[in-house]
């Protein structure tokens, strides 16, 4: 609240003290008088005071009202980031990720952390590196856990250990045309080895 200092002549102060109820202090009584004067009409001075004091109070009232106007907080002139809300802006999902629009919207709604255009671009670039299946799994896991980001899915576990890619025995390779070929032709000799 802005503070306002003004001088009141002794005669006026004596009249104010005489009219003031005991349960109010001077400041409270003056604020009450000013409030009543403002609610009735700003142009009409309070009848309790003399003409000279009316000018002082009317100047105080107009200066305090202009001070209040000047002290109002300025509105933020910077444009708000469209991605800072929980709902994604329409049409922001690129066409190459159209297969997971619903999961992207759900993830953005439940995600923890910062929502911004930069965060959105990082998310889109990361999802583009995943396969379609991995992308859907990653988004689903992130939605379920409420993570701040998506993570590449881990390979499935077999007996508590990560699944290993299928490795072929080196003897199963056939040498044809000066190089090894992974798919041997039907060779009865090799069939007995396995």
* Annotated domain spans of the chain: 10-71, 82-157
Q: How high does pLDDT run on average in the chain? A: 78
Residue, of 164 and 156, whose pLDDT is higher: 156
For residues 65-73, give the mean pLDDT. Answer: 55
Q: How many CA atoms lie within 13 A of 113 on its CB side?
A: 14
| CA 108 to centroid of chain Cα atoms | 11
For residues 53-57, give the mean pLDDT. Answer: 62
Rounded Cα gap, residues 172 and 191, in angstroms: 9
- The fraction of the chain above a pLDDT of 70, given in percent, is 63
For residues 28-40, give the mean pLDDT. Answer: 78
Q: Which spans in the chain are helix H? A: 10-19, 26-40, 51-71, 101-110, 117-129, 132-145, 188-191
pTM exceeds 0.75 for this model: no
């Amino acid at each position: 609240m802005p503070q306002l200092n003004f001088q009141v002549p002794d005669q006026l102060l004596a009249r104010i003290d005489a009219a003031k109820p005991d349960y109010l202090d001077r400041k409270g009584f003056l604020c009450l008088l000013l409030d009543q004067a403002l609610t009735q009409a700003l142009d009409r001075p309070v009848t309790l005071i003399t003409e000279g004091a009316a000018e002082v109070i009317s100047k105080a009232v107009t200066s305090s009202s202009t001070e209040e106007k000047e002290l109002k907080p300025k509105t933020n002139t910077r444009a708000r980031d469209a991605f800072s809300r929980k709902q994604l802006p329409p049409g922001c999902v690129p066409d190459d990720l159209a297969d997971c629009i619903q999961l992207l919207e759900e993830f953005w709604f439940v995600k923890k952390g910062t929502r911004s255009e930069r965060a959105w671009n990082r998310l889109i670039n990361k999802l583009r590196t995943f396969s379609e299946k991995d992308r859907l799994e990653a988004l689903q896991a992130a939605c379920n856990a409420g993570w701040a980001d998506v993570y590449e899915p881990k390979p499935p576990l077999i007996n508590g250990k990560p699944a290993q890619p299928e490795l072929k025995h080196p003897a199963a390779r056939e040498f044809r045309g000066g190089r090894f070929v992974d798919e041997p032709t039907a060779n009865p000799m090799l069939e007995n080895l396995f």
